[in-house]
Amino acid sequence: MRLEDRVAVITGGAGGIGLATARLFLKEGAAGIHLVDLKEEALEAAAEELADERVAWTAADVSMDADVARYTQEALDRFGRINVLFLNAGVEGVVKPMTEYPEETYDQVMGVNVKGVWLGMKHGFPALEKAGGGSVIITSSVAGLQGTPNVSAYTTSKHATIGLMRSGALEGAPLGIRVNSIHPSPVDNRMMRSLEEGFAPGAAEEAKKGFEGMIPLGRYGTNEEMADLALFLASDESRFITGAVIPIDGGLTA
Ligand SMILES: NC(=O)c1ccc[n+]([C@@H]2O[C@H](COP(=O)([O-])OP(=O)(O)OC[C@H]3O[C@@H](n4cnc5c(N)ncnc54)[C@H](O)[C@@H]3O)[C@@H](O)[C@H]2O)c1
């Protein structure tokens, strides 16, 4: 029961990592889980799967100020407080050289992956402060630590969240708010299927083998392994950790 009495907001809550984290947080005694994602149907399905009265949700676009204000308020209305903010919603964009990369996709990737995190802290900090402090966890990527050709917007966005995380950690410390970022290598879920197909159209399995070959532990991570790290950062076990860049990558960046 490492999260007893805690209320957590999870963005990208209907996706692979977000939903696995919601499941684990509930198991660890969370008092409330507020899922945020784009589509009502996906959120409904996620809530149905979790089948727990401690789950609520808001359909919102994390890149829009009014939507972020709304999901924050709805979580407060439903549960009375927010202790943990898992800013995890993200999009991969497309796989194309910079010279061919569509401007619209660049703006979308930066809007969700960067502005979405900034807005999450902007609206979430007052709630966490009121709760006496809390933990913000940002899902970046190994793409925030090193370059990869042909995913320039994604790579840029995941580097940028480190700046946001460090700013948040310094501004949050006097308020008792810790802010850290996690940096997964490929995780075995929808996003990697999309990227494998983007890197090697029609030969996704080959692309997967190539990526696995770059990871010293020889495999992709799982949604559940990402959830385990989010749990540690959400719980008091990590109480002296803030401002940290934490790879969870099977040794990829070693
Ligand atoms: N899958 C991987 O290999 C991998 C590796 C490193 C980092 N990440 C990061 O992990 C995070 C979670 O992704 P995932 O792997 O669970 O993939 P996913 O696609 O299953 O989940 C992402 C979720 O974010 C939601 N989302 C997208 N745009 C949104 C918006 N504007 N507003 C609200 N929600 C929005 C999607 O609907 C989806 O449910 C992302 O930030 C991703 O970049 C993933």
Q: In terms of C-beta distances under 8 Å and separation of at least 24 residues, what long-range contacts does 90-97 make, across chains too?
A: 90/12, 90/116, 90/139, 90/141, 90/157, 90/191, 92/151, 92/154, 92/191, 92/194, 92/195, 92/198, 93/151, 93/153, 93/154, 94/198, 95/150, 95/151, 95/195, 95/198, 95/199, 96/150, 97/149, 97/150
pLDDT on residue 54: 98
* Centre of ligand 1 from the C-alpha of residue 90, in Å: 4
Mutation choice for ligand 1 from 10, 23, 86, 91, CB with most ligand atoms inside 8 A: 91
Q: Which atom of ligand 1 is nearest to the CA of 195?
A: 3
- Give residue-wise pLDDT tens across range 74-115: 999 999 999 999 999 999 999 999 999 999 999 999 999 999
Q: What is the pLDDT of residue 218?
A: 98
Annotated catalytic residue within 71, 106, 154, 220: 154
- Residue 1 banded pLDDT, cuts 50, 70, 90: very high
Nearest CA to ligand 1 atom 18: 15
Q: What is the pLDDT of residue 134?
A: 98
User: In 3-state terms, what secondary structure has residue 91?
Assistant: coil
3-class DSSP assignment, residue 59? strand
The fraction of the chain above a pLDDT of 90, given in percent, is 100
> Looking at beta carbons, which pairs linking 49-58 to residues 24 or more positions away fall under 8 Å?
49/19, 50/19, 50/22, 50/23, 50/26, 52/26, 54/26, 54/30, 55/22, 55/26, 56/32, 57/13, 58/34
Is-catalytic flag, 154? yes
What's the length of the chain? 254
- Give per-residue pLDDT as tens, 108-130: 999 999 999 999 999 999 999 99
Chain centre distance of CA 147: 20
* DSSP E strand boundaries for 51-151: 55-59, 84-87, 134-139
Q: State if residue 16 touches ligand 1 by the CB under 6 angstroms criterion.
A: yes
Q: Supply the residue whose CA is at minimum distance from atom 21 of ligand 1.
A: 15
Does ligand 1 have an atom closer than 6 angstroms to the CB of 134? no
Separation of CA 174 and ligand 1 centre (Å): 30
Does the beta carbon of 187 sit less than 6 angstroms from any atom of ligand 1?
yes
> Residue 196: CB within 6 Å of ligand 1?
no
Tell me the pLDDT band of 14, cut-offs 50, 70 and 90.
very high
**pLDDT (mean) for 225-230:** 98
pLDDT at 212: 98
CA–CA distances in Å: residue 85 to residues 22, 140, 145, 249: 12, 14, 22, 22
Check residue 204 and give left, alpha or beta (phi > 0: left; psi -120 to 50: alpha). alpha
Could you give the CA distance from residue 175 to residue 214 in angstroms, rounded to a whole number?
A: 40
The tokens describing 66, both together, are 């009014």
Most ligand 1 atoms within 8 A of CB, residue of 67, 191, 208 to mutate: 191
Work out which ligand 1 atom sits closest to the CA atom of 187.
3
pLDDT at residue number 217: 98
Mean pLDDT of 42-47: 98
Domain boundaries, the chain: 7-185+223-248, 188-220
Terminal CA-CA length for the chain: 33
Q: Does domain 7-185+223-248 fall into CATH 3.40.50.720?
A: yes
Q: pLDDT tens across 153-190, in order?
A: 999 999 999 999 999 999 999 999 999 999 999 999 99
Question: Per the structure block, which two tokens stand in for 211?
Answer: 């990526």
